[in-house]
Structure 1
Amino acid sequence: MLALVALLTYVATRDPAQLWWIALLAVAGLPALLAPQHRLLGPLSRVAEVVVLGLAASQVAAVADIGGPVEGLGASAVLPYLAVPVTVTALRRHFREGAGLLAVTALTLLVSGALTRVDGGRQLAQPGYLAVCAQWLVLAGLGLYAAASLHQVMRVRGEGKPQPYAEATRLLTQLRTVARQLPGATLDPGGISEHLLEELRLAAPTDRGAVLSASGGGRLVVLAQIGADRVDWETTLDADSAIADAWASQQPHTSARSQARSHRGGDVSALIVPLVAGVRTVGLVVLESDTAQAYPAPVMSRVTALTGPAALRLEAALLFDEVRSLATNEERQRLAREIHDGVAQELVMVGYGIDNALAYVDEDPKETAEALRLLRQEVTRVIQELRLSLFELRSEVDRHGGLAAAIAEYARTVGASGGLRVHLSLDESTARLPAATEAELLRIAQEAVTNARKHAGASNLWVTCEVDPPYAQIEVSDDGHGIGDQRPDGHYGLAIMAERAERIRGRLEIRPRQPSGTTVAVVVGSSPRRDKVRGSAAAAEGE
């Protein structure tokens, strides 16, 4: 700005001597530039700037106006510099100081104009000079007012919009309070879905039905289902189906075609009702009957009357599951980082130190060398345990790989580190379980495999994984010395597995394996087809 004002002054006056005012402006503003945070030097320096500016404007105007066509126009060569001190006060939110600077500038311009004479004694402070000065003062004042108004708007918006963590705390506190007040209900998506299906079965003819929810990647997961036979429901939102149409339109749809990919044909009536909470589709209810035209308008009205309130309950449960999953994953990642960057690195350094000691120890004292070797073996074991713990913490069910792939990868890695021969039996359908259920089943399988490696003294490990949503069964067996001889921390791991199974409404079973070893099995949901097969087998054995 100084360079611009210097150029304008020279063009207006053609007098190099007037540039001394520009140099004086630079000197006046130097303290504010060198000590911008100083409480005294900064404001005094800016006051000095506007005083020098007022004097310079009158002097330059007096020289430029001699023979000029417009009275007072020369002041416009210097007054643009007024933006510098005013802008600084606006940026620092010192709006009162800015207003004071404008007042000092106006007073200096008026007094210096009254004392300056041109054209043989004519006073400079004439209407033309005053008009030019007023224009620049008004422009600077409007800029200061705009800055103050913008700051006020931003402050009000900031007060109305709490910080993310404060808002999260408020919402979670409300969620906890509401959850405690729910009469006989829980924030469990599976339980809410099962209760909804039982209500709908009383309101509409239903041979089979299901509640589905989005899982990401354009697919749906089965939260619960009813019916005598297993149903392989359509779970792709990209397909040309009534399910995809109902999800996109948020309107109930009826169809004469079954929404199950495994349906063998015949008369069928299907009713698909989207579960809409506000403007968001959180799930779908699919009801099917083997009777034609089983869902007329009155029946559809009864169904939608039940699904409306259920949508809000299901959304709350799904959000709660998502929040809990995010918090759990974040904590596991934090623990993994802490272990990796802390204890693991320190133990590695201890191992290196022992290696150095073994390199220089005198072979005469054999006991010392043997103790160091044993210590080195122990440190190696601890490091291996930490690495396995890190691997367990970081293991998650991949959206595309599935639960069986995650369990298989963990069993192979842990089995190889423990010298176990791993036998895998994986049977997973293309449909997916809810993310929270998959995560808990993975942790149960991890705990079972870890117990077998650390406490069972086994040579073989059998891992079976069957996933047929909403049914799933995970079974981990070993040929070790059995559950009775395990250490207390092994029993603690069993308690953790039981808590996880209860959380997803699963059934945990721990039983001896013949001729030796232990079997840990967890079952979620039910499969009518498997129950029928087992019932037939039991009847055959009875005969």
Structure 2
Amino acid sequence: MTYKQIKWMILLIPTFTVGVWEYIRHQFLLPYISMELGNWLTPLIVYLVSMTLLNKMFRMLEHIQKELEVERNATTVLEAREQLAKELHDGIAQSLFLLSVKVDRLEEHVVDKDRHLHDVQQIRKTVHEVNRYVRQAIADLKYEPMEEKSILSHESMESKLKKMVVDTPVQFSVNWSIPDSMLSPKEKVELLACVREAVVNIEKHSGATHGWIVGEGDPHRFKVMIKDDGRGFVDNPFMFKDRFGLNIMKERAEEMNWKMEFRRDHLYTAVELMKEGEGK
């Protein structure tokens, strides 16, 4: 029942109730019910109808109003997030990209200056990392939805991961069994960043058709694996200084005291992040 229909029902039901009661009273009940008793019964019947049927309709009306208020608040917040995302994209992200291009050109014109090249390499790494952070923030601002009951509630990790890979050309399967209560806010942020980096590498470099994100653990430890069926790698990918994404992911894992493994078997390439329990 729509909002408008409920309002009309609230207005019309008492009127029809009194009309029907008065018609029945005067046509059929006058020999049995006195005028004074009938006058007392009329407001009693209206009261009973109001406490039963109308009370239910008022609750329905309040529920619809709450839903509309939540939707209105969510729309306002999303519009603000979209605007902020646009400003980030048009300003900071493009400026960082331009700075990265300029550093690339600077490196091309430097010959036999190891120290200078090292400094340039560090600048490139910093620019790349900040640029990735900004783009991650843009993606979160644009696409992180609000819960229906409260615009301040948070999505589960599994939901965020599924949303992360929904538009990728590689088909990903997500099998996540780590309860959100097991992870601290810091761990959630770092895990999402690492998984996003692994997904981007799979999308850009692996030539894979299918990928898997698997998370499992107990209250003391967990293991997260990102696997694909792509072409894999030949040498140690961490040996190359220009592999900024993988090295940043490795640094994130080290800062969190996680163990990170990057391995290849005959068919699959896998990155594993492991948090060992106490005493391990």
What range is the shorter-chain TM-score in? 0.3 to 0.5
Query: TM-score with structure 2 length normalisation?
Result: 0.45
Query: TM-score with structure 1 length normalisation?
Result: 0.24
Larger Rg over CA atoms: 1
